Homo-oligomer: A and B are copies of this chain.
Amino acid sequence: MPELSISEVAQRMGLRASAIRYYEQIGVLPRARRVSGRRRYDQTTLERLAVIQRARQAGFSLDEIRQLFFGFARTTRPSERWEKLAQRKLAELEALTQEIESMRTLLQESCGCEALDECGKRLLHHKC
């Protein structure tokens, strides 16, 4: 297995080199090995990035992802960490879903006002 430069990693994983540098900077990726100043990566970095991408798709922030890798007591198993965070995330999604639902309701009920200032009056006085 050959070692990869940052732009090769970026291309394979579908992100920009700057994002990978950023991940390293904030500690989501460990500091990469350098060969004459340039970062070199191996397979495990690709795997780690795959997990990161999956976690981001699931709605985790980079901060939460860092916790997933480094944040807990060493006794906590990784899958347990994932489940703990996933639990919290699901609750957040539930809240978000309800917000969206109420937005949808607001958007669908046409208020019946011809002008916006009429609408404003109603909102202010009759709680329309």
**Which residues from chain A sit less than 8 Å from chain B, CB to CB?**
44, 46-48, 50-51, 54, 57-59, 68-69, 77-79, 82-83, 86, 89-90, 93, 96-97, 100, 102-104, 106-108, 110-111, 113-117, 119-121, 123-124
Contact = CB atoms under 8 A, between A and B. Distances in A.
11 contacts: A44-B117, A47-B121, A47-B124, A51-B123, A59-B100, A68-B116, A69-B116, A78-B114, A79-B111, A82-B111, A97-B100
Q: How many copies of this chain does one complex carry?
A: 2
Contact of A48 (B59, B113, B120): B120
A114 B86 CA distance: 16
Contacts of A96: 100
Nearest to A87: B107
